[in-house]
Amino acid sequence: MINFSAITSSTHSYNFHTHTQFCDGHATIQEFVEEAVNRQFKHLGFTPHGPLNVESPCNMSRADVVPFVNEVRRMQAIHASAIHIYAGMEMDFLNTRQFTELTQSTMAAQLDYRIGSVHFIPAFDDTDQYIDIDGRFERFKPKMSLYFHGDIEAVVKSYFNQQMLMVETGGFDIIGHFDKIGLNASLYSTGIDQQPWYDRLVINLLEAILDHGYIIEINTKAWQQHNRFFPNQKYFPLLKKYNAPIIVNSDAHYPALIDSGRPEALQLLKLC
Ligand SMILES: [Zn+2]
Ligand SMILES: [Zn+2]
Distance, CA 9 to ligand 1 centroid (Å)? 24
pLDDT digits (tens, 9 = 90+) for 2-36: 999 999 999 999 999 999 999 999 999 999 999 99
pTM for this model (two decimals): 0.97
Distance 158 CA to ligand 2 centre (A): 20
Residue 243 alpha carbon to ligand 2 centre in Å: 25
Q: For 30-77, write each residue's pLDDT tens digit.
A: 999 999 999 999 999 999 999 998 878 889 999 999 999 999 999 999
How sure is the predictor about 1, in pLDDT bands with cuts at 50, 70 and 90?
A: confident
Are the beta carbons of 147 and 123 closer than 8 angstroms? yes
The pLDDT tens digits for 65-119 are 999 999 999 999 999 999 999 999 999 999 999 999 999 999 999 999 999 999 9
Residues 6+ apart with CB under 8 A from 127: none
The confidence score (pLDDT) of residue 126 equals 86
Distance, CA 116 to ligand 2 centroid (Å)? 10
Residues 260, 252 contacting (CB under 8 angstroms):
yes
Ligand 2 centroid to residue 249 C-alpha, Å: 9
Q: Is the pLDDT of residue 165 over 80?
A: yes
Nearest ligand to the CA atom of 88: 2
> How many distinct structural domains can be found in the chain?
1
Are 230 and 180 spatial neighbours (Cβ–Cβ below 8 Å)? Answer: yes
Q: How far is the CA of 177 from the centre of ligand 1 (A)?
A: 7
CB-count burial class (<10 Å; 0-12, 13-18, 19+) for 80: exposed
For the CA of 25, the nearest ligand: 2
pLDDT tens digits along 171-227 = 999 999 999 999 999 999 999 999 999 999 999 999 999 999 999 999 999 999 999
Distance (angstroms) between ligand 1 centre and the Cα of 92 equals 8
Region 121-141: what's the mean pLDDT? 95
CA count, 13 A, side-chain hemisphere, 83: 28
**What pLDDT sits at residue 193?**
97
Nearest to 246 by CA among 228, 233, 259: 233
Query: Residue 80: its pLDDT value, please?
Result: 97
Rounded mean pLDDT, 245-266: 98
User: 173: CA distance to ligand 1 center in Å?
Assistant: 14
User: 119: CA distance to ligand 1 center in Å?
Assistant: 6
Mean pLDDT calculated for residue range 166-170 = 98
CA-based radius of gyration for the chain: 18
Q: Identify the H or E element spanning 46.
A: strand 43-46
Angstrom distance (rounded) from CA 172 to CA 218:
16
Predicted confidence at residue 56, as pLDDT, reads 81
Measured CA to CA, the distance from residue 245 to residue 237 in angstroms comes to 13
Q: Which domain holds residue 73?
A: 4-271
Q: What percent of the chain has pLDDT over 70?
A: 100
CB 240 within 8 A of CB 201: no
Query: Across all residues in the chain, what is the average pLDDT?
Result: 97
What percentage of the chain has pLDDT greater than the value 90? 96
CATH of the domain at 257: 3.20.20.140
Q: Are 247 and 217 in contact (CB under 8 A)?
A: yes
> What is the per-residue pLDDT for 239?
97
Mean of pLDDT values over 255-263: 98
125 CA → ligand 2 middle, Å? 28
Shortest-distance ligand to the CA of residue 117 = 1
CA within 13 Å, CB half, 183: 26
- Centre of ligand 2 to C-alpha 105, Å, is 20
Q: Ligand 2 centre and the CA of 237: distance in Å?
A: 24
